[in-house]
Amino acid sequence: MAVKVIIPTPLRPYAGKQESIELQAGSVAEALVALTTRFSELKKHLYSDDGRLRSFVNIYVNDEDIRYLQKEKTSLREGDTVSIVPSIAGGSHIA
Amino acid sequence: MATKTGIPTTPMAGTPAVTLSNEEVLRYSRHLIMPEVGMEGQLKLKAAKVLCIGTGGLGAPLGVYLAAAGVGRIGLVDFDTVDLTNLQRQILFSTSDVGRPKIEAAADRLRGLNPDIQIDTFETRLTSENALELFKDYDLIVDGTDNFPTRYLVNDTCILLGKQNVYGSIFRFEGQVTVFGAPGGPCYRCLYPEPPPPGLVPSCAEGGVLGVLPGIVGSIQAAETLKLIIGKGEPLIGRLLLFDALAMRFRELKLRKNPECPACGAHPTVTSLIDYAEFCGIRGEEAPALQTTVPEIAPRELKARLDRGDDLFILDVREPHEYQICNLGGYLIPLGDLSRRASELDRSREIVAHCRSGKRSAEAVEFLHKAGFRKVLNLKGGILAWSDEVDPSVPKY
């Protein structure tokens, strides 16, 4: 299935500075594998060392949180939009 | 039409009757002539008590619109002072306010805007020790802070006290807004059970914010606050509004209450306020230990060595757009590109790496040491320290 993955601002530096990526995937897991294969730097931002999705990163298929669907096994249909929504604290402080 | 002054507000148990003076009727006339607000809504606004956490980018439009709308009592919590970098977006403040406590400048501005309302000022950092006491007198809390520990502290305090939290946060040109803690609705921990570890929080290479962004997000928070007070419309409960100012696009995602949420679930484990700095993995306020473990050179020492004609290769690991702001004439390889471009560097020469503050360049030095570079030093304090100690003509940012 051709799906669109929307990359949030904080993660764009690790995804070739792109706003969204079109890729082929039948499930959320496949989409994330395809994404992190293409952009290996994204991996540590999406997954913890034990290979689980980080708890400050939520994944949505269209407007629904995958935690309330079939999690990463959630299947995707042609034209679905997958959104990565990390927590942002806000502010403009610089290190 | 007869002047509708002296009409008591819809009776609320324990709330004294509130009325509007003739001058207030005139001031709020553009609200009063709308049925969605009307006299009933305006009196609710006058009786309302809202606590704003933070008077910065988000708190500025929020405070202004709540005060202008006639919210009867507005509490402001902030501990910071106004500095020049705030003025790009914190529209409560003027250039003449630089150096003043934000709370003082904000209160002056809001009292000037609306002398009929009460402004409570709390010049303090919000902590686990004072949050419950500060929140208890207010009907609604608006979170306009800028860091994860305070976000979780505000959330947990609201859940413990059963108060709603109008949440807004921003990053560069993207914002998130929602209402947490409504009866039956989700809370911040339902959305994000845990904060990111400090190492994954964006640093200066990815920092910054479009000045108008907090204006838009804070204004949406103000709209939600006013709606919750007057009880009209469809509040952002169970809905996460995402805004991208660059694409100029709003999106809405479903936000569900997590039945197993540690704060607001059926069997909460968060039953009192905790140490939120520790929860967020931040111990003390020092920068990561990394910075002190790499060999450093002080700005004055670097200057002396350069003046002496020592062969030093200056490596700038900032981003190209930062190089345009100011530079020390160094060779530019952004930290993110360093692993790919390390071959451009001459291993036989002594390298001094620098960034803005010394943090990214410390990472660069560590990386280069691991890659087998022997003579690499970190410019202590970066361009900021160089400007302070060696060459004030280099602007700080």
Residues in chain B closer than 8 A to A63 (CB atoms): 251-254
Give mean pLDDT, residues B253-276.
95
Residue B56's closest chain A neighbor by CA? A91
pLDDT (tens digit, 0 to 9) for every residue of chain A, 95 residues total?
A: 999 999 998 888 889 989 999 999 999 999 999 999 999 989 988 998 888 999 889 999 999 999 999 999 999 999 999 999 999 887 544 43
| B135-157 pLDDT per residue, tens | 999 999 999 998 899 999 999 99
Residues in chain B closer than 8 A to A20 (CB atoms): none
Do B378 and B337 lie in a common domain?
yes
- Calculate the average pLDDT of chain B: 92
Which CATH number goes with the domain that contains B271? Answer: 3.40.50.720
Residues in chain B closer than 8 A to A54 (CB atoms): 196
Q: Is residue A32 part of a domain?
A: yes
Q: How many structural domains are present in chain A?
A: 1
Residue B291 has pLDDT above 60, yes or no: no
Q: Is residue B17 part of a domain?
A: no
Do B133 and B169 lie in a common domain?
yes
Distance CA B342, CA B311 (A): 19
Do B74 and B187 lie in a common domain?
yes
Q: Which of B129, B144, B162, B149 is nearest to B273 (CA)?
A: B129
Do B240 and B364 lie in a common domain?
no
Q: How many structural domains are present in chain B?
A: 2
Whether B204 sits among the annotated catalytic residues: the reply is yes
Q: Identify which of A67, A90, A95 has the shortest CB distance to residue B146.
A: A90
CB contact under 8 A, A55 and B171: no
Q: Is residue A92 part of a domain?
A: no
Rounded alpha-carbon distances, angstroms, from residue B153 to B53, B157, B180, B194, B275: 11, 6, 13, 12, 9
Rounded alpha-carbon distances, angstroms, from residue B39 to A47, B1, B139: 53, 13, 20
Q: Is residue B42 part of a domain?
A: no
| Residue B231 neighbours by CB distance under 10 Å | 11
CB contact under 8 A, B256 and A45: no
Residues B224, B166 contacting (CB under 8 angstroms) = yes
Which CATH number goes with the domain that contains A41? Answer: 3.10.20.30
Q: Is residue B10 part of a domain?
A: no
Q: Is residue B22 part of a domain?
A: no
Q: Catalytic pick from B187, B190, B204, B264?
A: B204
Q: Is residue B11 part of a domain?
A: no
Q: How confident is the model at residue B285 (pLDDT cuts 50, 70, 90)?
A: very low
Do B295 and B272 lie in a common domain?
no
Do B100 and B227 lie in a common domain?
yes
Q: How confident is the model at residue B282 (pLDDT cuts 50, 70, 90)?
A: confident
Do B250 and B296 lie in a common domain?
no
Do B306 and B274 lie in a common domain?
no
Do B255 and B343 lie in a common domain?
no
Residues B164, B228 contacting (CB under 8 angstroms) = yes
Residue B315 belongs to what domain range?
290-389
Q: Is residue A43 part of a domain?
A: yes
Work out how many CB contacts closer than 8 A connect A with B: 109
Side-chain-side CA neighbours of residue B99 (13 Å): 2
In this prediction the pTM is 0.88
Q: Which of B48, B70, B49, B74 is nearest to B60 (CA)?
A: B74
Q: Is residue A56 part of a domain?
A: yes
Residues A64, A70 contacting (CB under 8 angstroms) = no
| B65-118 pLDDT per residue, tens | 999 999 999 999 999 999 999 999 999 999 999 999 999 999 999 999 999 999
Residue B334's closest chain A neighbor by CA? A13
Do B214 and B239 lie in a common domain?
yes
This complex has an ipTM of: 0.91
Q: Identify which of A10, A45, A65 has the shortest CB distance to residue B171.
A: A10
Q: Is residue B2 part of a domain?
A: no
Residue A61 belongs to what domain range?
2-86
Distance CA B19, CA B116 (A): 12
With b for 16 or more beta-carbon neighbours within 10 A and e for fewer, the B180-207 pattern comes to bbbeebbbbbbbbbbbbeeeebbbbbbb
Rounded alpha-carbon distances, angstroms, from residue B126 to B107, B261, B277: 18, 23, 12
Residue A94's closest chain B neighbor by CA? B204
Query: What is residue B287's predicted lDDT score, i.e. its pLDDT?
Result: 44
Q: Which of B323, B313, B312 is nearest to B355 (CA)?
A: B323
